[in-house]
Amino acid sequence: MKSFRTLACRFAAPAALAILAAAALTACGTLPAPGTRSVQIERTTYGIAHITAQDYEGIGYGVAYAHAQDNVCQTAEHLLTVRGERSQFLGPQNTGELGLGRATNAQIDLFIRAHMDDAALARAAATTSADAKASLRGYVAGYNRYLQDTGPNGLPEACRGKPWVRPMSVADLSRATEMSMIQGGVGALAGAVLAAAPPAPGSKTSAAPVDLPQAVAEIARHRFNANPQGAELGSNGWAFGRNATPDGHGVLLGNPHFPWTGTNRFWEMHLVIPGKLDVMGATGGSSPVVAIGFNKDVAWTHTVSTGQRFTLYELKLDPSDPTVYLVDGQRRKMLARTITLPAAAAVPGAAPASHTFYSTDWGPVISLPAAGLGWSATTAYAIRDANTLNVRSAESWMKMALAHNVGELRAAMANQGMPWINTIAADRDGNAMYADQSVVPDVSAEMLKTCAPSPRAAALLHAANLAVLDGSRAACAWQRDPGVAAPGIMSPARMPVVITPDWVQNSNDSYWLSNPNIAPMAGVSPLVGAVGGTQRLRTRSGIMEIEGRLAGNDGLPGNKMGQAELRSVIFRDKNLAGMLVMDDLVAACNANAAALSADAAQGCRVLAGWDRTSNSASKGAPLFREFWRKAKDVPKVWRVPFDAARPVATPAGLDMATPATRDAVFKALGDAVGIVRAAGYAIDVPLAQVQTRIVQGQTITIPGGEEFEGVLNKVQSLGQPTLSAGGYQINYGSSYIQAVTFDDRGPVAYGILTYGQSSDPASPRAYDQLAMFSQKQWLPLPFHAADVAAQRVGQPVTLAY
């Protein structure tokens, strides 16, 4: 196989930019000599990888090799993305993933080539620990070893023999990490960066008037954690301490809602360095560390936090030159940089794509005209992303893997590597923790006032939770706390943390109601999250379920949350939207029966019998989904408005006493009947017939509901606006799910990876756990050596390197 290694390394040079070629050749040329060390890979039920090595470099080596066995084509294509070479190999007009969205390959390549700075990433990486460097170095070598061992024609069909499958370099891995870090900031606004261009001579000197609702909608379309119907990374995280559990040990639920395709897919693994490291859980693509998981003493999960990852800066421009901005009255010239793709990346007969990017001391210039953030002759906007050059996350997770309790887990995050996530944790001593230790710009409430931009831009703070600062004043740079890991980032001491023997939860709302019985931390910057606002339905549903369980009135025996109760509660699939509105809808149907359209009347009859869940057997669940998809946006639809004193119970009910609301609601119901019928289904069709996936010839039903329905077990069909022929094409939602507690031996863990270990459709590990998810069953996760041996599949593989 040495010949493939040589061929691959030679191939890397002519196809890449000079700096990437040099990095690739360096990586290929510095693989350790075979036989000096070894790593062992074992597989257990469903292909979970157990990796044992002598040190962190060996762990990284084994993780990369085993992950490539399941996902090599996914990784190879992602490397093509972060190299900015998609157009050259996949065509400039075809599309690919960019963060959580999609763009043409030409757009992706242009953005990547403009954003990535290999020298800056290398300087930042040089500040990390020796173990972190070794882990990443091992990952690069392990992936390349897999390519070497397999050969180009032994790869899965999607990338078999493809010229774009090339060895990984350290620079490639750094770029992949950077893409993960910025997907909550400038990565989500890549389209706005690409849209920025100076106004034409003679254009209007001021921006057009702003339609605030339109601006809010436009911003939400680009937001990482604020668009409940879009590509939103979400999660449920619950932790219970000694006062809430039957045996006094902590109990944890981790239920991230992530894409079922692409590099944000999770992958299960167990990592062991004898005498030093023993941690199990899941990670994303191109990562050698457990991101969500547990060791013998503590378990943790993450949810996407409400913290802001960036601020915009409003620039005052020189009236004579829109590429000159003023700071404290001094003229500063924007840096213009033109990126042109290689000739090989163009459509035959056409010139390669080219774009000029503009940057300032604050960051790159963006343009979002629909949000009132366009580039005029007098005003422009720049974005500063706090997660740019965040190379600290791997080291945070490495330290978390060694923690003995939630206090040590909190300390492990002090280097501010958590990019855009809360941490929810429980330990064997019976402590529960909620902590938002994520990367947030250090901008106080007072600074938001003193550095307010024009009134039109300032209005976006409350309307769309978008912070825009005055870029004409140097004093409006982010504050610099000398005690933080990175300048301009909020100190961990000023970020919200709750440690309690009771319980905490988060479902992607702010820290405010992490436990409604515990007063939230005071003095927290608005950029971390809002207090006193309407909560998403999932948050409310979670708190209702937890409080019901601990009050002993949820139908289960006792009043504690043990692991068995936790596994039952999360899969009840209650539809909170249905529970909140159906009584009023049924009453209005009965009171207005003579005036209803035929479709609305049929809809009333079906929903009157619906069980108000999103279980697979639930008849009418698809009809309610299509009804509420429309009805939730009816102005003043709620009968009981939000009350900050009752945030879990409100808003609620349907305002069917108001004629305009009643008419709009019944129209939404009639429209929903038409949508279900047009898709080819009976209007009382159960969810099991429209929410399925075929796995190895078998039809698997998928329980769960959409974000806007308030179903804790969230599943979504992104890119599909309504039910259509063939049903809902689920591609997002519940992914790696873990329920963990502790006994005298250590962790007792159960888990599911809904889509399985492999992204290769031909692999037996692709979606092989979906049937278990469908049946609401859980796999005991084998942490202890005896359990690993009992579940072992095949023979261990030992790699000398």
pLDDT tens-digit profile of 478-488? 998 887 878 89
HEC string of 307-342? CCCEEEEEEEEECCEEEEEEECCEEEECEEEEEECC
The DSSP element (H or E) to which 705 belongs, if any, is none
Q: What is the C-alpha separation between 301 and 526, in angstroms, rounded?
A: 24
At 575, list the tokens.
């539809």
Q: Residue 329's pLDDT is what? A: 97
Q: Residue 206's pLDDT is what? A: 61
For 582-609, give one letter per residue: b (16+ CB within 10 A) or e.
bebbbebbeebeeebeebbbbbbebbee
Count Cβ atoms below 10 Å from residue 691 Cβ, excluding itself. 26
Cβ neighbourhood burial of 443 (10 Å; 0-12, 13-18, 19+): buried
Stated length of the chain: 801
Question: CA distances (Å), 469 to each of 223, 316, 604, in order?
Answer: 18, 12, 50
Confidence of residue 208 (pLDDT cuts 50, 70, 90): low
Sign, CA torsion 341/344/345/346: positive
Percentage above 90 pLDDT, the chain: 89
Q: What is the C-alpha separation between 44 and 197, in angstroms, rounded?
A: 54
At 156, list the tokens.
């899965």
End-to-end alpha carbon distance in the chain? 14
Q: Which of 415, 469, 418, 478 is nearest to 442 (CA)?
A: 478
Per-residue pLDDT tens over the stretch 28-50? 434 445 568 999 999 999 999 99
Proportion of the chain in helix, strand, coil states, percent, rounded to 5: 35, 20, 40
Q: What's the CA dihedral at 121, 122, 126, 131 to 10 degrees?
A: 90
Q: Which of 333, 366, 394, 293 is nearest to 747 (CA)?
A: 293
Radius of gyration over alpha carbons of the chain, in Å? 26
At 419, list the tokens.
């990019």
Q: What's the CA dihedral at 520, 522, 528, 529 to 10 degrees?
A: 50
Mean pLDDT to the nearest integer, 159-177: 98
Contact 625, 706 (CB under 8 A): yes
Higher pLDDT, 11 or 322: 322
Q: Which of 102, 230, 114, 390 is nearest to 732 (CA)?
A: 230
Of the listed ranges 56-65, 459-468, 656-665, 707-716, the least confidently predicted one is 459-468
Contact 277, 59 (CB under 8 A): yes
At 685, list the tokens.
């069709």
Higher pLDDT, 221 or 315: 315
Contact 75, 65 (CB under 8 A): no
Q: Residue 71's pLDDT is what? A: 98
- List the beta bridge partners of residue 239: 252, 504
Mean pLDDT to the nearest integer, 443-467: 95
Q: Which of 179, 191, 186 is nearest to 393 (CA)?
A: 179
Q: What is the pTM of this model?
A: 0.94
SS3 state at 378:
coil
Q: Residue 205's pLDDT is what? A: 59
Q: Which of 402, 155, 161, 448 is nearest to 294 (CA)?
A: 402
Site of tokens 């990338």? 159
pLDDT at residue 228 greater than cutoff 50: no
Q: What is the C-alpha separation between 32 and 798, in angstroms, rounded?
A: 16
The DSSP element (H or E) to which 684 belongs, if any, is none
At 779, list the tokens.
């796999």
Q: What is the C-alpha separation between 498 and 295, in angstroms, rounded?
A: 21
Contact 705, 573 (CB under 8 A): yes
**Pairing of the two strands 747-753 and 432-435:** unpaired
235 as an active site residue: the answer is yes
Confidence of residue 27 (pLDDT cuts 50, 70, 90): very low
Mean pLDDT to the nearest integer, 168-197: 96
Q: Residue 207's pLDDT is what? A: 60
The DSSP element (H or E) to which 749 belongs, if any, is strand 747-753
Confidence of residue 224 (pLDDT cuts 50, 70, 90): low
Contacts of 40 (CB under 8 A, 6+ apart): 51, 52, 53, 62, 796, 797, 798, 799
Q: What is the C-alpha separation between 461 and 526, in angstroms, rounded?
A: 9
Site of tokens 């292909």? 47
pLDDT at residue 261 greater than cutoff 60: yes
pLDDT at residue 553 greater than cutoff 60: yes
Q: Which of 750, 257, 285, 730 is nearest to 506 (CA)?
A: 257
Q: What is the C-alpha separation between 140 and 171, in angstroms, rounded?
A: 10
Per-residue pLDDT tens over the stretch 660-678? 999 999 999 999 999 999 9
Per-residue pLDDT tens over the stretch 304-314? 999 999 999 99
Q: What is the C-alpha separation between 682 and 540, in angstroms, rounded?
A: 32
Confidence of residue 215 (pLDDT cuts 50, 70, 90): confident
Cβ neighbourhood burial of 253 (10 Å; 0-12, 13-18, 19+): buried
pLDDT at residue 229 greater than cutoff 80: no
pLDDT at residue 234 greater than cutoff 90: no
Per-residue pLDDT tens over the stretch 629-670? 999 999 999 999 999 999 999 999 999 999 999 999 999 999
SS3 state at 158:
helix
* CA geometry: angle 108, 110, 114, nearest 5 deg: 115
| Residue of 235, 286, 541, 759 with catalytic role | 235
Contact 655, 638 (CB under 8 A): yes
Confidence of residue 129 (pLDDT cuts 50, 70, 90): very high
Contact 396, 415 (CB under 8 A): yes
SS3 state at 482:
coil
Q: Residue 209's pLDDT is what? A: 66
Average of per-residue pLDDT values in the chain: 93
Mean pLDDT to the nearest integer, 509-535: 97
Residue type, 437: Q
- The whole-angstrom distance between residue 509's C-alpha and the CA centroid of its chain comes to 14
Higher pLDDT, 50 or 97: 50
Cβ neighbourhood burial of 794 (10 Å; 0-12, 13-18, 19+): exposed
Q: What is the C-alpha separation between 706 and 704, in angstroms, rounded?
A: 7
Q: Residue 8's pLDDT is what? A: 39
Confidence of residue 17 (pLDDT cuts 50, 70, 90): very low
Mean pLDDT to the nearest integer, 144-173: 98
Q: Which of 403, 437, 442, 400 is nearest to 422 (CA)?
A: 437
